[in-house]
Amino acid sequence: MNKQICKYSIIRFQPYPETEEFANIGIVLYATASKRLEFRLLDSKQHARITGFFDPKCKDVFVQTSKIIRAEVERIKKFLDETAGVDVDLYGEIIRCREDIIRFSDSRVLFSIDPVATVDKLFEHYIHRSFIHEPGHEEKMKKQVRELLDSRNLGKKYREDTIGEPDKYEVRFPFVCKNTKQTVIKPIHFKQEKPSLLIDHGLSWLAKVQQLEKYHFIRPDEILFAYDAPDNSQSNLFAAFTEIKEQIEKEGVVMADIKQNDDIVRFAAA
């Protein structure tokens, strides 16, 4: 599939125009070549960011307004899907400046192979702020592991280092021991907000391990993933975590809950 030019705009909720404050609540994207419209909008039940930032009284306004804008964009999307060769700039009509509770950012441009995947990625970035969730959480986990190793007199054994060779394949890990036995500890979090993101994160690290094993740089059982799992009350997320955990363990990688200090220490000291 070829790349195509896409325009997109951030959908914003602005209940008090006087203050010019707003909250990002969605993304609308238009693929110019295929005339395809895609969008993602915050569910009306997910109003905590609205009531927390503005006022609890904004809840009802947000719920009603989000239903209206969802219905409008879906109507235009359906029209574009069913109408070939329409020349009217309906994307431009959607995002045009108007005095309303719902506002749109200036249109932006990017190239995309898959508009659906792109709008999902933009939504995670601008609405769920994915750019701070994963790195920030795993940085805290790294600090937690470092403090644990130091407290058990194992800190000097482990340092940040790479496994592999630059001209073949290499991966950088935060905790690597290359003494008499090579061992690696990698904190990995599974606190994503969607099962697909959780699984993708696990699979990306599993693929790195598989590639390192392919070149005989390390065995999977020499690697420990110290994980932070979703709460088991989050049934969809916990089911996705259980699935990816089983896949990783099947490959031979050791899995240990970040809260189980003894399991991590036992592996690190072996």
Range of the domain at 90: 4-128
Shared-domain flag, residues 137 and 258: yes
pLDDT above 60: residue 11: yes
Shared-domain flag, residues 123 and 155: no
CATH code, domain carrying 143: 3.40.1350
Provide the pLDDT confidence category of residue 42 given band limits of 50, 70 and 90.
confident
pLDDT above 60: residue 177: yes
Please say which residue of 77, 97, 128 terminates a domain.
128
Shared-domain flag, residues 205 and 243: yes
Shared-domain flag, residues 241 and 114: no
Shared-domain flag, residues 85 and 26: yes
Shared-domain flag, residues 113 and 147: no
CB atoms within 10 A of CB 176: 21
Number of domains in the chain: 2
Shared-domain flag, residues 119 and 150: no
pLDDT for position 268: 94
CB atoms within 10 A of CB 2: 6
Please say which residue of 76, 109, 128 terminates a domain.
128
Please say which residue of 76, 111, 128 terminates a domain.
128
SS3 label, residue 21: coil
Q: What is the mean pLDDT of residues 243-267?
A: 95
Share of the chain above pLDDT 90, in %: 53
pLDDT for position 83: 76
Shared-domain flag, residues 211 and 107: no
Shared-domain flag, residues 189 and 140: yes
Starting from the edge strand earliest in sequence, which strands make up the sheet with 254-257, in order? 159-165, 169-178, 182-189, 223-228, 254-257
**Residue with tokens 């089983």, as numbered in its chain:** 246
Q: Each residue of 68-107: pLDDT tens digit?
A: 999 999 999 888 888 765 667 888 889 987 778 899 999 9
Q: What is the mean pLDDT of residues 155-164?
A: 93
pLDDT above 90: residue 187: yes
pLDDT above 60: residue 261: yes
**Mean pLDDT across the chain:** 88
